[in-house]
Amino acid sequence: MVARILYSISRCLQSFGINCKIDQENPGVWTDTEVPRKLAAVGLSNKDGITKHGFAINVDLPLTGFTAIVPCGLTLPVTTMAIETGQKMDVEEVKLRMIPILKEILSLSPDSKIQDTDPKTDQ
């Protein structure tokens, strides 16, 4: 499930012209640059036998708060869609693009392999 969410996020970001990759070692979606910058994170929790999945995409926000923490325990930089595109980004527009992608990818049968069409993935 996490792989499908990451794949969906990367497809959405690419639809905005952002070159990105999925890093299996440091789960998330990163810029496809010499020094990768984190664009999105995915998380899950399991409580009382119920697993919940979620994700966060840095759309257009000030990054000043990230200077006070070590995001995901990594010293790599964090970025936003707005920074990567050089344009003001609207969360609602990102949602409108993300929803159909999620519906498509999450509705695939469990034995479907998304790697065959997966955007760049670090192994």
DSSP string for 11-41 = HHHHHTT--EEEESSS-SEEESSSS--EEEE
**Cβ atoms < 10 Å from Cβ of 116:** 6
pLDDT at 68 over 70: no
Q: Is the pLDDT of residue 122 over 80?
A: no
Listed residue (90, 61, 69, 66) closest to 78, CA to CA: 66
* Residues belonging to the active site: 72
How does pLDDT run across 73-116, given as a tens digit for each residue?
777 889 999 999 999 999 999 999 999 999 999 887 777 766 54
Which residue in this structure is represented by tokens 């869609």? 81
Q: What is the pLDDT of residue 39?
A: 95
What tokens appear for 89 in the block?
């980004």
Contact predicate 71/56, CB 8 Å? no
**Can you give the pLDDT at residue 117?**
43
Domains and CATH numbers, the chain: 2-107 (3.30.930.10)
